[in-house]
Amino acid sequence: MEPTPNVATLLALYKQINNYGRMNGMELSMTKPGEVVYTMKVRKDHLSSPGTCHGGVLAGLMDAALGAAALSLAFTASELVSTVEFKINYLLPVRLHDHLLARGHVEHSGKTLIVASADIYCATREIVVARGLGTFNRYPADKRDFHELLFPKEV
């Protein structure tokens, strides 16, 4: 039986394979399993109208923060997660060059589902711009190729 990698190792691996986050300039850190922070700066390619960020960018950041919170907790049991559903409330517009900080944390961890919530703050203006809630399915890590990334077969 292979040893279970620690959560920090698993999160580092996730950051390496998360092309979506990298493409959007998102930086992930974990305060503890079940609590994460994602940061990003709104760029010109995130805009939907002059000076205003597209809601899909915020939805992507929200899903990432909710999912990473759930994932960081699931990692403690050698599990992965997938999004079942999430909702977002857009509270205020986000502008070009705003620095965003999304804080996600697990509200409930059950046998098959994890529920997480998150707020997206605009650090530039010191206000909450969006709130979200998500549900995630948890499943064994060996059901995906993630296991091979952790334990490559020797040639």
Q: What are phi and psi of 26, to 5 degrees?
A: -90, 135
Q: Global pTM?
A: 0.89
pLDDT tier for residue 152 given thresholds of 50, 70 and 90: low
pLDDT one-digit tens code per residue, 117-140: 999 999 988 999 999 999 999 998
Class for the domain spanning 7-148: alpha beta
Q: Which residue would you say has higher pLDDT here, 21 or 152? A: 21
Q: Which residue would you say has higher pLDDT here, 12 or 155? A: 12
Please, is 18 exposed, middle or buried when counting C-beta atoms within 10 Å of its C-beta (0-12, 13-18, 19+)? middle
Q: Is the pLDDT of residue 1 over 50?
A: no
**Domain segments of the chain as ranges:** 7-148
The 3-class SS string of the chain reads: CCCCCCHHHHHHHHHHHCHHHHHCCCEEEEEECCEEEEEEECCHHHEEECCEECHHHHHHHHHHHHHHHHHHHHHHHCEEEEEEEEEEEECCCCECCCEEEEEEEEEEECCCEEEEEEEEEECCCCEEEEEEEEEEEEEEHHHCCHHHHHCCCCC
pLDDT one-digit tens code per residue, 3-61: 456 777 777 888 888 889 999 999 999 999 999 999 999 999 999 999 999 999 999 99
pLDDT of residue 27: 94
Q: Is the pLDDT of residue 112 over 50?
A: yes
Q: Is the pLDDT of residue 67 over 50?
A: yes
For residues 86-105, give the mean pLDDT: 97
